[in-house]
Amino acid sequence: MKKIYALFLTLLIVNLIVFAQGVNENLFKIERNKNANVVMYDVRVLPEGFIDKQNPMDAYWILKAEQGQRDEISTFEKKAYGYKININDNGYYDLILKAVSDRPMKIVNVQGKYKAEIMINKKNAYLSTVYVFANDSFIPKVEYIILTGTDVKTANRITEKIITK
């Protein structure tokens, strides 16, 4: 009986800590042709349902090519996978992703879930995936990027291939 009580108490404490800190909601990910590893971009949401103004984003690797563990993005890797996020005058968060810096995004709340809104094929869309194809040279060069998301108006899947120079 003492073991059950201790387990219950431990679970209760863990749940209280998680609730007090809030949760992360996934916005989108970057996939690459190099390997199965992906970069995840999450928004940090406080228990009240608002984005954490002090630390609004969390970007990290999921090393699927290994054991699926989380790994932090290094300072060097932030040159390719980094971002800028700022709150604007309307109370929305503006997001610029280094991989597609010419496509500014806005973080919006849609039916209680945060999404990254971006232009894909000249239509407003909620971004789900950025696919980056780079050549296999000593210093890899990105050849193209594919944006995938959901059309804001129709909820249909939408993609756009961007050839890099």
Q: What residue numbers bound the domain in which 138 lies?
A: 21-163
Assigned domain for 15 exists: no
22 Cβ partners below 8 Å, 6+ apart?
44, 45, 46, 47, 52
pTM to 2 decimal places? 0.84
pLDDT at position 117: 97
Contact criterion met (CB below 8 Å) for 45 and 22: yes
pLDDT of residue 92: 85
What are the C-alpha distances in Å from 97 to residues 37, 85, 120, 128, 157? 18, 9, 14, 13, 21
Q: Is the pLDDT of residue 101 over 90?
A: yes
Q: Is residue 11 part of a domain?
A: no
Q: Find the mean pLDDT for residues 142-148.
A: 97
Question: Tokens 């961007």 label which residue?
Answer: 162
Is 125 part of a structural domain of the chain?
yes
Hey, is 6 helix, strand or coil? helix
Specify if 78 maps to a domain. Answer: yes
> C-alpha distances in angstroms, 89 versus 43, 86, 115, 121, 146?
19, 10, 19, 27, 31
Q: Is residue 27 part of a domain?
A: yes
Q: How many domains does the chain have?
A: 1
Q: Which two tokens stand for residue 115?
A: 């999404």
Tens-digit pLDDT profile for residues 63-93: 999 999 999 999 999 999 999 999 988 878 9
- Tell me which of 5 and 55 has the higher pLDDT: 55
Q: Which of 87, 116, 91, 89 is nearest to 104 (CA)?
A: 116
